[in-house]
Amino acid sequence: MSGYAIDPCDQCEEMIQPFLDRELSEEERQVAESHLDGCDYCRKRYKFEERLRRYVRQAVTESMSPELKAKLAELRTPLI
């Protein structure tokens, strides 16, 4: 806790998740990007979060079995 109302790194930290979710407004994105340009610490944090997310996403992704795919297709309304 820095004790300051607006610490640029705190503000940047708060933007990490919506930034990676592509949910920031154009204006907010620019604020985040210009801070990131000059702040090694925050840039490192962003990179870490991004990598973490990619790892989780890849690790937990499981494909559907061909059997299930076939079963779903069978649920279609038969053509008369």
For the chain, what is the radius of gyration of the CA atoms?
21
Work out which of 16, 24, 31, 39 binds other proteins, going by CB under 8 A.
Answer: 16
- Spatial separation of the C-alpha atoms in residues 15 and 12, rounded to whole Å: 5
Residue ranges of alpha helices (H) inside the chain are 8-20, 26-38, 40-60, 66-74
Establish if 65 lies at the interface with other proteins (CB under 8 A).
Answer: yes
Q: Least distance in Å: CB of 12 to other proteins?
A: 12
Q: How is residue 25 written in tokens?
A: 């407004």
Q: How many residues bind other proteins (CB under 8 A)?
A: 33
Stretch of 2-10, 25-33, 35-43, 56-64 lying at the interface with other proteins (CB under 8 A)? 56-64
Q: How is residue 69 written in tokens?
A: 């795919």
Which residues form the interface with other proteins (CB under 8 A)?
13, 16-18, 21, 23, 44-45, 47-49, 51-53, 55-57, 59-65, 68-69, 71-73, 75-77, 79
